[in-house]
Chains A and B, each alone.
Chain A
Amino acid sequence: MTAKYQLTLYITGQTPRSRQAIENLYHTCKAMLDGRYEITIIDVLEHPELAEEEKILATPTLIKVSPPPLRRIIGDLSDTEKVFIGLDLQLNGTFHLPQGAQKDE
C-alpha cells in the first residue's frame, strides 16, 4: 500500500504541451500520492539516446517504472480518468486539475 511510485516523463523541449504534462503530473501526484513518488523528467531533444533506449515515439510519454506493471501513458495527461487507470489510482470524491488544464476537446 505504501509502495513508492517511480515515474519518468519524456517531453520534447519546452512546448506548451510539455509544460502542461509536467503541471498535470505534479498536480495529480501531490493530490493522490502524498509524497510517495519520484518523478524524473527527460527532454528527448537533449537526450535522444534515452528515448531510443526506451523506444519512445510519442511525447509526452509517462512511464510508470514501479510499482508493476510497467505502463506507458501517452499524451499531456489532461484526461484524468485515463491517468488514474494508468497509475492504478482509485478516485475518491472529486478531483480537479488546475485551471486551464481541462481535458482536451
Chain B
Amino acid sequence: MSENTTAPIRKFKTGIPGFDDITMGGLPEGRTTLISGTAGSAKTVFAVQFLSAGIEQSGMPGVFVTFEESPQDIRQNMASFGWDIRAWEEKGLWAFVDASPQPAEDTIVAGSYDLGALLARIEYAVQKIKAQRVAVDSLGAIFTQFTEHVSVRHELFRIASALKKMGVTAVLTAERVQEYGEIARYGVEEFVADNVIILRNALDDEKRRRTIEILKFRGTAHQKGEFPFTIMPGAGIAVIPLSAIELKQSSSIIRITSGNKELDEMCGGGFFRDSIILVSGATGTGKTLTVTEFIAGGAAVGERCLLFAFEESREQLFRNATGWGVDFRKMEEEGSLKLICRYPEVAGPEDHLINMKAEIENFAPNRIAVDSLSALERIATVKGFREFVISLTSFIKHKETAGLFTSTTPSLMGGTSVTEAHISTVTDSIIMLRYVEMFGEMRRGLTVLKMRGSMHDKEIREFTIDGRGMHIGNAFKNVTGILVGNPMSIPQSEIERISTLFQNERGI
C-alpha cells in the first residue's frame, strides 16, 4: 500500500555537461549530496558550477556557503570559467554565506556552543533569493575552525536535515586524504548526506586523469564506475558519459566513394555512408594519402569534410595534398573542407575529445578524418585512450557521418598498434597498408581486412603512389606472410603443386 502513496525520488537536472547522463537525470531532488575528493580534485569548481549552471540555464537562484575561501577569492578564481558571480549577486541570483575564517579576529571559546547562527544565515539567504540550489564548500574546513568535533558533527547533521526541510537540492564538499581509501577525512561527512559522489585526480603513468564516480544514490538508479571528466577554460567541468552511450545508431546502405576508384571496387562499391573506417599501416605506407583521397572524393561530390590532423601542420598537409593533385587550400576557401591541426600534447585526451565534438557539432560535416588517431596514444593512459576512442567513434556514429581514422603501426613490417586493439571492434571497415619486401625492393600492399555488411576483395594488392595519387594494381599472387611482416616468395612450381594437391585426392 505504502508503495503507492510514496512518491519516487525525482531527479534534478544540474546542467553540468555529461553529469546528468551518468546520474540518469541529475541529482536526487530536495536531497543533499556529498562531493568528496582530494586536494585539487575540482570540488570547489563542481560546487560553483552546480549553482552557475542553474543560473545560466534556468535562472535558478543559488546560495553558496563557503568555509574555506573568501567570497572575493571565489569570485576571482571562477571568473576564468566565464562565471560572473558579482553580476549574479546584484541580480539576486547568487548569495554568499561567508563562513570563511576571519584571520584578523581573535576567537576564544568559553563554554558550549552550536552553529545555530550559521544555520539561521543559510535559511535567511535561501529565503531572501528564493534559492533552489545550495552549495557548501567544504565540510572539513568547519572541523578546522571549530575544535569540538563531537558538537560539530552533531551540528552538521542539523544543517543537513534543515537543508532538506527547506526543500533545496544541495551539494556539500569534503576532503579526502587518498584517492582510494576512506570517503572523507573526518569519517562522518558521508553520513551527513544522502548521496556520495567522488572526484578523483589520480596520477597514472605520469599523467593526471580526472574521474567522477557516483558511490551512493539513496533509492535511485545511476551509472556505475568511474567516468573521466575534464575542466575546460570558459566552461568548467564536462563529464564524458561512456557507458551512457547507447548502441542505437541506424544503419545506411548508401555507399560513398573512398576517393579512389579501385579501392571502391575492392570494398564492393565504396564505404557505407555512416561507417567508421580504420586505415592501419607503418609510417610512409600511404595513410595520409588515403585520407587526402577520401576528402577529395567527398568534396568532389559537394560533401563537407572535416580533417583533424595530429601529426602534420597545415602547410605540410597542403604541400602533401598538392603533391598528389589535390588542392586543400581551394577546398577550404570553398567551404567544403575544414582543416584542424593540433599538436597532441597541447591538451589531455578528454579536452581533445570535447574540442573535437564541438568542432563536429559546429561544422556538421558529411565526412570526418583523423590523421592519426595513434598520435594521441602518447598523451593518454591506456584506459584513457580506450575511452577516448570509444567516445569519439560512438559520437561520430550517432551523427551518421563517415569517419576515417588512421593508425600508425609501431613496426615497419606487419604488426598492430594499441589503437587497433581498441578501435577494431567499433570499426565497420579495416584497410591495411603494408610494406612488402621483395627481391631487395620495398613495395606497398593494400588489403581490405574487414567490410561489415558487404562483400569485399580479399586479396592483398600491390599499389603505387605518383603525382595523381594511389593506384591499386594486381594481387601479390606468389607471396605469403605480408600481414605478419614476413613476406616470402613462393616459387610458381610450388603454387601449382598446392593447387593440384586436393584435385588429385578428389580424382581418386
Which residues of chain A have a CB within 8 Å of any CB of chain B?
10, 12-13, 15, 17, 20-21, 24, 44-45, 48-49, 51-52, 55-61, 69-80, 82-83, 85-86, 103-104
Which residues between 315 and 365 of chain B lie within 8 Å of chain A, taking CB atoms? none
Other contacts beyond A52-B125, A82-B109: 17, CB < 8 A: A10-B117, A12-B114, A12-B117, A15-B116, A20-B111, A21-B111, A44-B120, A48-B120, A51-B121, A51-B124, A70-B105, A70-B106, A73-B107, A75-B113, A76-B110, A82-B108, A104-B112
Which A residues are CB-close (under 8 A) to B106?
A: 69-72
Tell me which of A20, A59, A72, A77 contacts B116 (CB under 8 A).
Answer: A59
Q: Cβ of B245 < 8 Å from any Cβ of A?
A: no
Contacts A49-B124, A55-B98, A55-B102 known; A75 to B116 CB distance under 8 Å?
no
Do B105 and A61 touch across chains, with their CB atoms under 8 A apart? no
Q: Cβ of B253 < 8 Å from any Cβ of A?
A: no
- A24 to B111 CA separation, bound complex (whole angstroms): 11
Tell me which of B98, B114, B123 contacts A58 (CB under 8 A).
Answer: B114
- A77 to B105 CA separation, bound complex (whole angstroms): 18
- A21 to B121 CA separation, bound complex (whole angstroms): 20
- A69 to B104 CA separation, bound complex (whole angstroms): 11
Q: A48: nearest residue on chain B (CB-CB)?
A: B124
Which B residues are CB-close (under 8 A) to A76?
A: 110-113
- A57 to B156 CA separation, bound complex (whole angstroms): 13
- A17 to B133 CA separation, bound complex (whole angstroms): 31
- A10 to B118 CA separation, bound complex (whole angstroms): 12
- A13 to B120 CA separation, bound complex (whole angstroms): 10
Interface of B is mostly: mixed
Q: Cβ of B97 < 8 Å from any Cβ of A?
A: yes
- A91 to B236 CA separation, bound complex (whole angstroms): 57
Do A75 and B121 touch across chains, with their CB atoms under 8 A apart? no
Q: B99: nearest residue on chain A (CB-CB)?
A: A57
Name 10 interchain pairs, CB-CB below 8 A, sorted by A: A21-B111, A45-B120, A51-B117, A57-B117, A59-B113, A73-B109, A74-B109, A75-B113, A78-B111, A86-B110
- A86 to B125 CA separation, bound complex (whole angstroms): 31
Do B99 and A78 touch across chains, with their CB atoms under 8 A apart? no
Contacts A44-B117, A57-B145 known; A52 to B111 CB distance under 8 Å?
no
| Nearest 8 interchain pairs by C-beta | A12-B116, A75-B111, A48-B124, A82-B110, A76-B111, A78-B111, A56-B117, A79-B110
- A49 to B125 CA separation, bound complex (whole angstroms): 9
A-B contact count (CB 8 A): 109
- A85 to B110 CA separation, bound complex (whole angstroms): 10
Q: Cβ of B115 < 8 Å from any Cβ of A?
A: yes
Q: Cβ of B146 < 8 Å from any Cβ of A?
A: yes
- A79 to B91 CA separation, bound complex (whole angstroms): 45
| A85 shortest CB reach to chain B, Å | 6
Which B residues are CB-close (under 8 A) to A56?
A: 117-118, 121
Which A residues are CB-close (under 8 A) to B107?
A: 71-74
Do B121 and A48 touch across chains, with their CB atoms under 8 A apart? yes
Which B residues are CB-close (under 8 A) to A78?
A: 110-112
| B128 shortest CB reach to chain A, Å | 9
Do B124 and A57 touch across chains, with their CB atoms under 8 A apart? no
Do A52 and B97 touch across chains, with their CB atoms under 8 A apart? yes
- A59 to B106 CA separation, bound complex (whole angstroms): 16
Which A residues are CB-close (under 8 A) to B115?
A: 57-59
Which A residues are CB-close (under 8 A) to B97?
A: 52
Which A residues are CB-close (under 8 A) to B113?
A: 17, 58-61, 74-76
Which B residues are CB-close (under 8 A) to A13?
A: 116
Which B residues are CB-close (under 8 A) to A52?
A: 97, 121, 124-125
Do B110 and A74 touch across chains, with their CB atoms under 8 A apart? yes
- A49 to B123 CA separation, bound complex (whole angstroms): 11
Do B124 and A73 touch across chains, with their CB atoms under 8 A apart? no
- A103 to B389 CA separation, bound complex (whole angstroms): 66
Do B117 and A79 touch across chains, with their CB atoms under 8 A apart? no
Tell me which of A45, A57, A83 contacts B118 (CB under 8 A).
Answer: A57
| B502 shortest CB reach to chain A, Å | 90
Do A72 and B125 touch across chains, with their CB atoms under 8 A apart? no
Contacts A12-B114, A58-B146, A79-B110 known; A51 to B102 CB distance under 8 Å?
no
Which residues between 116 and 158 of chain B lie within 8 Å of chain A, taking CB atoms? 116-121, 123-125, 145-146
Do B110 and A73 touch across chains, with their CB atoms under 8 A apart? yes
Do A85 and B108 touch across chains, with their CB atoms under 8 A apart? yes
Residue among B108, B110, B113, B124 with most chain A CB within 10 A = B110
Tell me which of A10, A69, A70, A75 contacts B110 (CB under 8 A).
Answer: A75
- A74 to B127 CA separation, bound complex (whole angstroms): 27
Q: A101: nearest residue on chain B (CB-CB)?
A: B111
Which B residues are CB-close (under 8 A) to A83?
A: 110
Which A residues are CB-close (under 8 A) to B98?
A: 55
